[in-house]
Structure 1
Protein backbone atom coordinates (compact mmCIF):
# COMPACT_ATOMS: atom_id res chain seq x y z
CA UNK A 1 0.00 0.00 0.00
CA UNK A 2 1.53 3.31 -1.09
CA UNK A 3 0.37 6.82 -0.28
CA UNK A 4 2.26 10.08 -0.47
CA UNK A 5 3.30 13.10 1.54
CA UNK A 6 0.82 15.91 0.92
CA UNK A 7 2.71 18.39 3.14
CA UNK A 8 5.65 18.60 5.53
CA UNK A 9 5.00 21.07 8.36
CA UNK A 10 7.19 22.57 11.08
CA UNK A 11 6.12 24.50 14.15
CA UNK A 12 6.61 28.17 14.79
CA UNK A 13 6.66 29.75 18.25
CA UNK A 14 3.15 30.81 19.26
CA UNK A 15 2.55 32.80 22.43
CA UNK A 16 -1.02 32.64 23.70
CA UNK A 17 -3.08 32.31 26.86
CA UNK A 18 -4.12 28.80 25.76
CA UNK A 19 -0.55 27.62 25.13
CA UNK A 20 0.35 24.54 27.12
CA UNK A 21 3.64 25.22 28.86
CA UNK A 22 4.39 27.52 31.78
CA UNK A 23 5.90 30.16 29.51
CA UNK A 24 2.74 30.40 27.44
CA UNK A 25 4.47 29.20 24.27
CA UNK A 26 3.36 26.39 21.98
CA UNK A 27 4.58 24.74 18.78
CA UNK A 28 1.14 23.47 17.72
CA UNK A 29 0.99 25.93 14.82
CA UNK A 30 2.78 23.94 12.11
CA UNK A 31 3.42 25.61 8.75
CA UNK A 32 4.02 23.87 5.39
CA UNK A 33 7.54 24.10 3.97
CA UNK A 34 8.52 23.58 0.34
CA UNK A 35 12.06 22.24 0.74
CA UNK A 36 12.74 18.73 2.11
CA UNK A 37 13.10 18.60 5.90
CA UNK A 38 15.56 16.41 7.80
CA UNK A 39 13.91 14.00 10.22
CA UNK A 40 16.01 13.10 13.28
CA UNK A 41 15.27 10.58 16.01
CA UNK A 42 14.22 13.48 18.27
CA UNK A 43 12.10 15.28 15.67
CA UNK A 44 12.22 17.51 12.61
CA UNK A 45 14.97 20.05 12.11
CA UNK A 46 13.46 23.51 12.61
CA UNK A 47 10.33 22.28 14.41
CA UNK A 48 9.57 24.18 17.61
CA UNK A 49 8.21 22.06 20.48
CA UNK A 50 6.92 23.97 23.49
CA UNK A 51 5.87 21.64 26.29
CA UNK A 52 8.45 18.87 26.10
CA UNK A 53 7.08 17.05 29.13
CA UNK A 54 4.10 16.06 26.94
CA UNK A 55 5.36 16.53 23.38
CA UNK A 56 8.39 15.38 21.43
CA UNK A 57 10.83 12.65 22.37
CA UNK A 58 11.68 9.47 20.43
CA UNK A 59 8.17 7.96 20.65
CA UNK A 60 6.58 11.22 19.47
CA UNK A 61 9.25 12.45 17.07
CA UNK A 62 6.76 12.87 14.20
CA UNK A 63 3.01 13.43 14.15
CA UNK A 64 1.03 12.48 11.03
CA UNK A 65 -2.56 13.28 10.13
CA UNK A 66 -4.50 12.08 7.11
CA UNK A 67 -5.65 14.68 4.62
CA UNK A 68 -8.86 12.71 4.17
CA UNK A 69 -9.64 13.03 7.89
CA UNK A 70 -8.82 16.74 7.76
CA UNK A 71 -11.37 17.11 4.94
CA UNK A 72 -14.05 15.60 7.20
CA UNK A 73 -13.30 18.22 9.82
CA UNK A 74 -13.42 21.00 7.23
CA UNK A 75 -16.93 19.91 6.28
CA UNK A 76 -18.01 19.50 9.91
CA UNK A 77 -16.72 22.89 11.02
CA UNK A 78 -17.55 24.70 7.79
CA UNK A 79 -14.09 26.20 7.43
CA UNK A 80 -10.82 25.49 5.69
CA UNK A 81 -8.01 23.80 7.62
CA UNK A 82 -4.60 24.23 6.06
CA UNK A 83 -1.91 21.54 6.20
CA UNK A 84 -0.38 21.60 9.68
CA UNK A 85 -3.65 22.78 11.19
CA UNK A 86 -3.84 19.72 13.44
CA UNK A 87 -0.31 20.34 14.68
CA UNK A 88 0.90 17.58 12.37
CA UNK A 89 4.36 17.33 10.84
CA UNK A 90 3.17 15.08 8.02
CA UNK A 91 -0.09 15.56 6.18
CA UNK A 92 -0.67 12.30 4.32
CA UNK A 93 -2.65 11.31 1.25
CA UNK A 94 -4.09 7.82 0.62
CA UNK A 95 -2.81 6.38 3.92
CA UNK A 96 -5.17 4.74 6.41
CA UNK A 97 -3.64 6.43 9.44
CA UNK A 98 -6.35 5.38 11.91
CA UNK A 99 -6.12 1.80 10.67
CA UNK A 100 -2.32 1.71 10.99
CA UNK A 101 -1.07 -1.16 13.15
CA UNK A 102 1.04 -0.28 16.19
CA UNK A 103 4.65 -0.97 15.24
CA UNK A 104 4.12 -0.89 11.48
CA UNK A 105 6.86 0.81 9.51
CA UNK A 106 6.58 3.43 6.77
CA UNK A 107 9.29 4.15 4.23
CA UNK A 108 8.98 7.87 3.50
CA UNK A 109 11.60 9.56 1.34
CA UNK A 110 14.96 8.71 2.92
CA UNK A 111 13.32 7.98 6.27
CA UNK A 112 11.96 4.90 7.99
CA UNK A 113 9.18 5.64 10.48
CA UNK A 114 7.42 3.38 12.99
CA UNK A 115 3.87 3.92 14.28
CA UNK A 116 3.91 4.20 18.09
CA UNK A 117 0.62 5.56 19.47
CA UNK A 118 -2.34 7.87 18.83
CA UNK A 119 -2.47 11.54 19.69
CA UNK A 120 -4.54 12.53 22.73
CA UNK A 121 -6.38 15.86 22.31
CA UNK A 122 -5.59 18.60 24.81
CA UNK A 123 -6.78 22.05 25.84
CA UNK A 124 -3.99 23.63 23.77
CA UNK A 125 -5.49 22.06 20.65
CA UNK A 126 -8.96 23.37 21.57
CA UNK A 127 -7.54 26.83 22.20
CA UNK A 128 -5.62 26.85 18.92
CA UNK A 129 -8.78 26.09 16.97
CA UNK A 130 -11.04 28.24 19.13
CA UNK A 131 -13.49 25.33 19.57
CA UNK A 132 -14.25 24.94 23.31
CA UNK A 133 -15.74 21.43 23.01
CA UNK A 134 -13.08 20.15 20.60
CA UNK A 135 -11.70 17.51 22.98
CA UNK A 136 -15.13 15.88 23.25
CA UNK A 137 -15.73 16.10 19.50
CA UNK A 138 -12.25 14.89 18.58
CA UNK A 139 -12.60 11.93 20.94
CA UNK A 140 -15.98 10.97 19.51
CA UNK A 141 -14.68 11.17 15.93
CA UNK A 142 -11.76 8.87 16.87
CA UNK A 143 -9.42 9.76 14.01
CA UNK A 144 -6.55 10.87 16.24
CA UNK A 145 -3.56 10.81 13.90
CA UNK A 146 -0.36 8.88 14.50
CA UNK A 147 2.78 9.52 16.47
CA UNK A 148 5.82 7.92 14.88
CA UNK A 149 9.34 6.99 15.85
CA UNK A 150 12.22 7.77 13.44
CA UNK A 151 14.00 4.45 12.87
CA UNK A 152 16.23 5.76 10.07
CA UNK A 153 17.03 9.45 9.78
CA UNK A 154 16.92 11.38 6.52
CA UNK A 155 15.07 13.98 4.47
CA UNK A 156 11.38 14.01 3.54
CA UNK A 157 9.71 16.28 1.01
CA UNK A 158 6.31 16.98 -0.48
CA UNK A 159 5.24 14.26 -2.89
CA UNK A 160 7.49 11.55 -1.44
CA UNK A 161 5.82 8.13 -1.45
CA UNK A 162 4.69 6.56 1.82
CA UNK A 163 5.05 2.80 1.63
CA UNK A 164 4.09 0.40 4.40
CA UNK A 165 7.05 -1.98 4.50
CA UNK A 166 6.26 -3.93 7.67
CA UNK A 167 3.05 -4.65 9.56
CA UNK A 168 3.08 -6.66 12.84
CA UNK A 169 0.86 -9.71 13.00
CA UNK A 170 -0.91 -8.69 16.25
CA UNK A 171 -3.16 -6.36 14.27
CA UNK A 172 -3.80 -3.82 17.05
CA UNK A 173 -4.57 -0.57 15.28
CA UNK A 174 -4.03 3.03 16.23
CA UNK A 175 -7.78 3.55 16.28
CA UNK A 176 -8.29 0.64 18.68
CA UNK A 177 -5.70 2.05 21.08
CA UNK A 178 -7.35 5.46 21.02
CA UNK A 179 -10.84 4.06 21.60
CA UNK A 180 -9.59 1.73 24.36
CA UNK A 181 -8.08 4.67 26.24
CA UNK A 182 -11.11 6.92 25.80
CA UNK A 183 -14.63 5.58 25.19
CA UNK A 184 -14.29 1.80 24.82
CA UNK A 185 -12.42 0.30 27.82
CA UNK A 186 -13.55 -3.18 26.76
CA UNK A 187 -10.77 -2.96 24.17
CA UNK A 188 -8.02 -2.53 26.80
CA UNK A 189 -6.95 -6.22 26.84
CA UNK A 190 -6.14 -5.93 23.13
CA UNK A 191 -3.49 -3.32 23.84
CA UNK A 192 -1.28 -5.76 25.74
CA UNK A 193 -0.79 -7.77 22.53
CA UNK A 194 0.98 -4.82 20.89
CA UNK A 195 4.63 -5.24 21.93
CA UNK A 196 5.65 -2.04 20.11
CA UNK A 197 3.22 0.13 22.04
CA UNK A 198 5.26 2.49 24.27
CA UNK A 199 5.56 1.15 27.81
CA UNK A 200 3.76 4.10 29.49
CA UNK A 201 0.67 3.32 27.39
CA UNK A 202 0.89 -0.42 28.13
CA UNK A 203 1.25 0.38 31.84
CA UNK A 204 -1.81 2.62 31.70
CA UNK A 205 -3.78 -0.24 30.13
CA UNK A 206 -2.56 -2.71 32.78
CA UNK A 207 -3.45 -0.27 35.56
CA UNK A 208 -6.97 0.31 34.25
CA UNK A 209 -7.53 -3.41 33.77
CA UNK A 210 -6.37 -4.02 37.35
CA UNK A 211 -8.69 -1.32 38.67
CA UNK A 212 -11.67 -2.75 36.79
CA UNK A 213 -10.87 -6.27 38.02
CA UNK A 214 -10.63 -5.02 41.58
Structure 2
Protein backbone atom coordinates (compact mmCIF):
# COMPACT_ATOMS: atom_id res chain seq x y z
CA UNK A 1 0.00 0.00 0.00
CA UNK A 2 1.34 3.41 -0.97
CA UNK A 3 1.63 5.69 2.04
CA UNK A 4 0.05 9.12 1.63
CA UNK A 5 2.20 12.04 2.66
CA UNK A 6 1.56 13.07 6.25
CA UNK A 7 1.20 16.77 7.03
CA UNK A 8 1.69 18.25 10.48
CA UNK A 9 -1.20 20.71 10.76
CA UNK A 10 -0.77 21.90 14.34
CA UNK A 11 1.77 21.44 17.13
CA UNK A 12 0.78 22.38 20.68
CA UNK A 13 1.72 21.91 24.33
CA UNK A 14 0.33 23.21 27.59
CA UNK A 15 0.20 22.85 31.36
CA UNK A 16 -2.96 22.48 33.47
CA UNK A 17 -4.98 25.66 33.90
CA UNK A 18 -8.54 26.74 34.68
CA UNK A 19 -11.05 26.24 31.87
CA UNK A 20 -14.48 27.87 31.99
CA UNK A 21 -17.39 26.08 30.35
CA UNK A 22 -21.17 25.85 30.43
CA UNK A 23 -22.93 28.26 32.75
CA UNK A 24 -20.33 29.55 35.17
CA UNK A 25 -18.55 26.22 35.50
CA UNK A 26 -14.80 25.74 35.65
CA UNK A 27 -12.28 22.93 35.94
CA UNK A 28 -8.52 22.48 35.95
CA UNK A 29 -7.35 20.72 32.79
CA UNK A 30 -4.46 20.65 30.33
CA UNK A 31 -6.74 20.26 27.31
CA UNK A 32 -6.29 23.92 26.27
CA UNK A 33 -2.89 23.63 24.64
CA UNK A 34 -1.17 26.46 22.79
CA UNK A 35 0.67 26.46 19.47
CA UNK A 36 4.45 26.38 19.74
CA UNK A 37 7.24 26.89 17.25
CA UNK A 38 9.35 24.04 18.60
CA UNK A 39 9.65 21.88 21.69
CA UNK A 40 11.87 19.14 23.09
CA UNK A 41 10.26 15.73 23.43
CA UNK A 42 11.56 13.46 26.20
CA UNK A 43 10.46 9.97 27.24
CA UNK A 44 7.98 11.55 29.66
CA UNK A 45 6.53 13.98 27.15
CA UNK A 46 7.02 17.47 25.78
CA UNK A 47 8.85 20.07 27.83
CA UNK A 48 6.21 22.50 29.11
CA UNK A 49 3.40 19.99 28.62
CA UNK A 50 1.44 18.34 31.40
CA UNK A 51 -1.76 16.68 32.59
CA UNK A 52 -4.21 17.45 35.39
CA UNK A 53 -5.33 13.88 36.12
CA UNK A 54 -2.33 11.59 36.46
CA UNK A 55 -4.53 8.50 36.87
CA UNK A 56 -5.89 8.65 33.34
CA UNK A 57 -3.33 10.79 31.51
CA UNK A 58 0.41 11.04 31.05
CA UNK A 59 3.23 8.57 31.62
CA UNK A 60 5.72 7.09 29.14
CA UNK A 61 3.06 5.13 27.20
CA UNK A 62 1.05 8.34 26.71
CA UNK A 63 3.84 10.84 26.13
CA UNK A 64 2.42 12.18 22.87
CA UNK A 65 -1.24 12.66 21.96
CA UNK A 66 -2.15 12.59 18.25
CA UNK A 67 -5.45 13.51 16.58
CA UNK A 68 -6.36 13.24 12.88
CA UNK A 69 -7.15 16.58 11.29
CA UNK A 70 -9.74 15.02 8.96
CA UNK A 71 -12.21 14.65 11.85
CA UNK A 72 -12.37 18.39 12.52
CA UNK A 73 -14.66 19.12 9.56
CA UNK A 74 -16.93 16.21 10.48
CA UNK A 75 -17.43 17.41 14.04
CA UNK A 76 -17.79 21.06 13.03
CA UNK A 77 -20.55 20.18 10.57
CA UNK A 78 -22.35 17.73 12.84
CA UNK A 79 -22.34 19.89 15.96
CA UNK A 80 -22.38 23.32 14.30
CA UNK A 81 -19.24 24.43 16.12
CA UNK A 82 -16.01 26.15 15.17
CA UNK A 83 -13.16 24.18 16.71
CA UNK A 84 -9.92 25.85 17.84
CA UNK A 85 -6.51 24.36 17.03
CA UNK A 86 -5.67 21.35 19.26
CA UNK A 87 -9.35 21.26 20.22
CA UNK A 88 -9.09 17.73 21.59
CA UNK A 89 -6.02 18.46 23.71
CA UNK A 90 -3.69 16.76 21.26
CA UNK A 91 -0.05 17.70 20.84
CA UNK A 92 0.09 16.71 17.20
CA UNK A 93 -2.70 17.28 14.65
CA UNK A 94 -1.97 15.48 11.38
CA UNK A 95 -3.44 14.41 8.07
CA UNK A 96 -3.29 10.86 6.68
CA UNK A 97 -2.86 9.16 10.05
CA UNK A 98 -6.43 7.97 10.62
CA UNK A 99 -7.36 5.45 13.31
CA UNK A 100 -8.25 2.89 10.63
CA UNK A 101 -4.73 3.03 9.17
CA UNK A 102 -2.51 3.55 12.22
CA UNK A 103 -1.68 0.39 14.17
CA UNK A 104 -0.41 -0.34 17.66
CA UNK A 105 3.38 -0.58 17.43
CA UNK A 106 3.80 1.54 14.30
CA UNK A 107 6.88 3.77 14.49
CA UNK A 108 7.04 7.34 13.18
CA UNK A 109 9.74 9.97 12.99
CA UNK A 110 8.59 13.51 13.79
CA UNK A 111 11.38 16.03 13.45
CA UNK A 112 14.35 14.74 15.45
CA UNK A 113 12.21 12.45 17.61
CA UNK A 114 10.94 8.91 17.00
CA UNK A 115 7.66 7.73 18.52
CA UNK A 116 5.69 4.49 18.64
CA UNK A 117 1.90 4.14 18.77
CA UNK A 118 0.76 2.47 22.02
CA UNK A 119 -3.00 2.79 22.48
CA UNK A 120 -6.20 4.48 21.46
CA UNK A 121 -7.42 7.32 23.59
CA UNK A 122 -10.22 6.74 26.07
CA UNK A 123 -12.07 10.05 25.72
CA UNK A 124 -13.57 11.83 28.72
CA UNK A 125 -16.18 14.51 29.33
CA UNK A 126 -13.51 17.23 29.34
CA UNK A 127 -13.52 17.05 25.54
CA UNK A 128 -17.27 17.74 25.44
CA UNK A 129 -16.92 20.53 27.99
CA UNK A 130 -14.42 22.25 25.74
CA UNK A 131 -15.77 21.53 22.25
CA UNK A 132 -19.48 20.63 22.57
CA UNK A 133 -18.70 17.53 20.51
CA UNK A 134 -20.67 14.74 22.19
CA UNK A 135 -18.59 12.11 23.92
CA UNK A 136 -20.89 9.31 22.80
CA UNK A 137 -20.31 10.21 19.15
CA UNK A 138 -16.55 10.10 19.57
CA UNK A 139 -16.91 6.64 21.09
CA UNK A 140 -19.43 5.49 18.45
CA UNK A 141 -17.17 6.46 15.56
CA UNK A 142 -13.91 5.39 17.19
CA UNK A 143 -12.43 8.75 16.18
CA UNK A 144 -10.64 9.11 19.51
CA UNK A 145 -7.08 9.88 18.49
CA UNK A 146 -4.26 7.90 20.09
CA UNK A 147 -1.09 7.99 22.16
CA UNK A 148 2.59 7.27 21.52
CA UNK A 149 5.66 6.46 23.57
CA UNK A 150 9.02 8.02 22.77
CA UNK A 151 11.69 5.78 21.24
CA UNK A 152 14.16 8.59 20.57
CA UNK A 153 14.07 11.96 22.27
CA UNK A 154 14.55 15.14 20.24
CA UNK A 155 13.24 18.47 19.08
CA UNK A 156 10.00 18.76 17.10
CA UNK A 157 9.13 21.91 15.19
CA UNK A 158 5.81 23.15 13.87
CA UNK A 159 6.93 22.39 10.30
CA UNK A 160 8.66 19.07 11.08
CA UNK A 161 8.33 16.23 8.62
CA UNK A 162 6.31 13.23 9.81
CA UNK A 163 7.38 9.90 8.34
CA UNK A 164 6.32 6.29 8.91
CA UNK A 165 9.48 4.31 9.69
CA UNK A 166 8.14 0.89 10.57
CA UNK A 167 4.80 -0.94 10.49
CA UNK A 168 4.06 -3.44 13.25
CA UNK A 169 3.54 -6.88 11.70
CA UNK A 170 0.32 -7.75 13.57
CA UNK A 171 -1.51 -4.80 11.94
CA UNK A 172 -3.98 -4.21 14.76
CA UNK A 173 -5.38 -0.76 14.07
CA UNK A 174 -6.46 1.86 16.58
CA UNK A 175 -9.97 1.67 15.11
CA UNK A 176 -10.04 -2.10 15.67
CA UNK A 177 -8.91 -1.77 19.28
CA UNK A 178 -11.55 0.92 19.85
CA UNK A 179 -14.23 -1.32 18.34
CA UNK A 180 -13.34 -4.17 20.67
CA UNK A 181 -12.79 -2.01 23.74
CA UNK A 182 -15.93 0.13 23.50
CA UNK A 183 -18.41 -1.98 21.56
CA UNK A 184 -17.46 -5.66 21.99
CA UNK A 185 -16.09 -5.83 25.53
CA UNK A 186 -16.36 -9.62 25.75
CA UNK A 187 -14.97 -10.42 22.29
CA UNK A 188 -12.43 -12.96 23.54
CA UNK A 189 -10.74 -13.50 20.19
CA UNK A 190 -10.56 -9.77 19.56
CA UNK A 191 -9.05 -9.14 22.98
CA UNK A 192 -6.48 -11.90 22.45
CA UNK A 193 -5.58 -10.43 19.06
CA UNK A 194 -4.89 -7.04 20.65
CA UNK A 195 -2.93 -8.57 23.54
CA UNK A 196 -0.68 -10.37 21.06
CA UNK A 197 0.81 -7.01 20.09
CA UNK A 198 3.84 -6.60 22.40
CA UNK A 199 3.94 -2.82 21.99
CA UNK A 200 0.46 -2.33 23.48
CA UNK A 201 0.40 0.17 26.37
CA UNK A 202 0.50 -1.43 29.82
CA UNK A 203 -2.73 0.28 30.87
CA UNK A 204 -4.67 -1.28 28.01
CA UNK A 205 -2.94 -4.63 28.53
CA UNK A 206 -4.08 -4.59 32.16
CA UNK A 207 -7.66 -3.59 31.28
CA UNK A 208 -8.05 -6.20 28.54
CA UNK A 209 -6.41 -8.95 30.58
CA UNK A 210 -8.89 -8.25 33.38
CA UNK A 211 -11.75 -8.65 30.90
CA UNK A 212 -10.41 -12.01 29.76
CA UNK A 213 -10.15 -13.20 33.34
CA UNK A 214 -13.67 -11.99 34.09
CA UNK A 215 -14.98 -13.75 30.98
CA UNK A 216 -13.34 -17.01 32.06
CA UNK A 217 -15.03 -17.00 35.49
Q: Is the 8 A contact 2:43 2:63 kept in 1?
A: yes
Matched with 2:119 is: 117
Q: Is the 8 A contact 2:63 2:148 kept in 1?
A: yes
Pairs within 5 Å for 1:23-42: 24-33=27-36, 35-42=37-44
Give secondary structure in 2 for the equivalent of 1:148.
Answer: strand
Matched with 2:7 is: 4
Q: 2:54 is matched with which residue: 52, 55, 58?
A: 52
Q: Is the 8 A contact 1:98 1:146 kept in 2?
A: no
Structure 2: which 5+ residue stretches go unaligned?
none
Give secondary structure in 2 for the equivalent of 1:182.
Answer: helix
**Runs of 4+ displaced beyond 6 Å:** none
Matched with 1:152 is: 152
Q: Deviations over 1:60-79 (max 9, x none)?
A: 11100011122211121122
Q: Deviations over 1:4-58 (max 9, x none)?
A: 211111124332478xxxx94210111222x111111111111232112221110
* Structural RMSD (CA): 1.9
Structure 1: which 5+ residue stretches go unaligned?
none
Q: Report the TM-score, using the length of structure 1 for normalisation.
A: 0.88
Matched with 1:65 is: 67
Matched with 1:167 is: 167
Pairs within 5 Å for 1:49-198: 49-130=51-132, 134-185=134-185, 186=187, 187-198=190-201
Structure 1 residue 180, shift from structure 2 partner:
1.1
Whole-angstrom distance in 2 between the partners of 1:29 and 1:57: 19
Q: 2:208 is matched with which residue: 193, 205, 208?
A: 205
Q: Is the 8 A contact 2:45 2:60 kept in 1?
A: yes
Q: Deviations over 1:136-192 (max 9, x none)?
A: 111001111110111111111223221111111111111111111111232322212
Aligned in 2, Cα 1:128/1:82: closer, same or farther, shift over 3 Å?
closer
Q: Report the TM-score, using the length of structure 2 for normalisation.
A: 0.87
- Compare 23-32 and 48-57 and name the one that shifted more: 23-32
